Amino acid sequence: MAQDTDGASRRGLLRAGGLTAAGLALGAAGAPGYPTPTPTDLGAVTEGRVTFPNWRGEADTPSGPTPNPLPPSERVGYAIIGLGRISVEEVLPAFGEAKQSKPVALVSGSPEKAREVARRYGIPESAVHSYEEMEKLRDNPEVKAVYIGLPNAMHREYTVRAAAIGKHVLCEKPMAATVEEAAEMVAACERARVKLMIAYRCQYEPYNREAIRIVRSGELGKLRSIQAVNTQSQGQVAQWRFNHRLAGGGALPDIGLYCLNATRYLTGEEPMDVFARSYSPPGDPRWSEIEESVSFMLRYPSGVIANCLTQYDAFNDKSMTLHFERGTVEMPDAFSYVGQRMYVSQRAGSMTARTERTIEHKNQFATEIDHFSECIRMDRQPHTPGEEGLQDQKLMAAIYRSAQEGRPIEMPRPPGPTRGPDPSQGG
């Protein structure tokens, strides 16, 4: 009797769940002998993409779209030029999270290092070249673009060489060591009809994208001022950043550029004038050729005042604060590789509420690389083309001039737009 009751209970449960013995036996689209998957669990293929309905309750944020990587044969192949820290520690690992891009060749002055990197990323020995042999990339059909991760003063030469062999160029920031070099890079890529993008990773990072959205939406009223800081403690060891010929400057082009560029992409404007002060502690050989600190202010047509500080001999701080008419946005790690956060303060009735906004993390390097790959595949203008880097070079030259002359420097408007369409956030 107890067995009959238990059997009836089990059958009732199966009917209540929409499952039958036949479904259990056949498994429908699932594995034979198991319950039939529900549409929520099974998903579907829509326009070549596997999709699933939202499974979360109303209290939780819906899950995002499923990853949609291109097949390896359709991804844009990159030659990595220069195997320094940025390439080995950040860019090459980021290809593991990229969906439209892949590393297919290396150019390096260190054969031993290049062989080891090639082995770990499955790059054939025939696709590993010295700097002198870079033009051999012309004959490799897998290489559609190059990533340039060299010291600043080398960007111009290798951009011009890459353009001459018909390869698109993704170049690290700062774009060059001088305004003239940056202009030559833009002209060379235009002549060769290849795309040039500057690797402003923060413009592709989700929290910085959200900050742009908040400014444009007006949800906190008008943006009134910006405070941006990028400082770090630069070691005593010999490195190219202390060499003016290679770096083109000190803290300003290396890390202060993030502050400068952020004020431009947040306001969507170009500064009317700049005013700056610089300082280098005397007696320290690190600052014999470059500046240690630069404080600079930019004034924008909308009335926004941006105050920026960059230093090479201070504890790490990569923060930004946006002051609005009706609120404040704090971003403690705005310019970091990882760990971005955002806090929004505004009135909540009779109180002031400070809330944290949590956004899904995305690898900034993978996102910017995939954006460039999409532009190559779809023949679109990159969001941060050479014109964006050229404008920053002009502004940095004005900042140095202001610091030297002790007065504000008025800035002419760029001859045209410096940015392309906003980047896609899909994946």
Q: Which residues are catalytic?
A: 173, 258
Q: In angstroms, rounded to a whole number, what is the distance separating the alpha carbons of residues 14 and 2? A: 19
Q: Are the C-beta atoms of 27 and 34 separated by less than 8 Å?
A: yes
* Whole-angstrom distance, CA of residue 245 vs CA of residue 290: 10
CA distances for 165 relative to 39, 138, 172, 210, 283, angstroms: 51, 5, 19, 38, 46
Tokens of 285: 């050989």
Please tell me what DSSP assigns to residue 345.
E
- Distance, CA of 404 to CA of 279 (rounded, Å): 11
Distance of CA 318 to the CA centre of its chain: 15
φ and ψ at residue 211, rounded to 5 degrees: -60, -40
Q: Is 268 strand, coil or helix?
A: coil
> Which residues have CB under 8 Å from 71's CB, separation 6+?
none
Pairing between strand 313-317 and 351-356?
A: unpaired
Query: What is the full DSSP assignment across 58-110?
Result: TTSPPP-PPP-PPPGGGSEEEEEE--SHIIIIIIHHHTTT-SSEEEEEEE-S-
Q: How much is the CA Rg of the chain, to the nearest whole Å?
A: 26
Collapsed DSSP state (helix, strand, coil) of residue 311: strand
Separation CA 277–CA 399 (nearest Å): 8
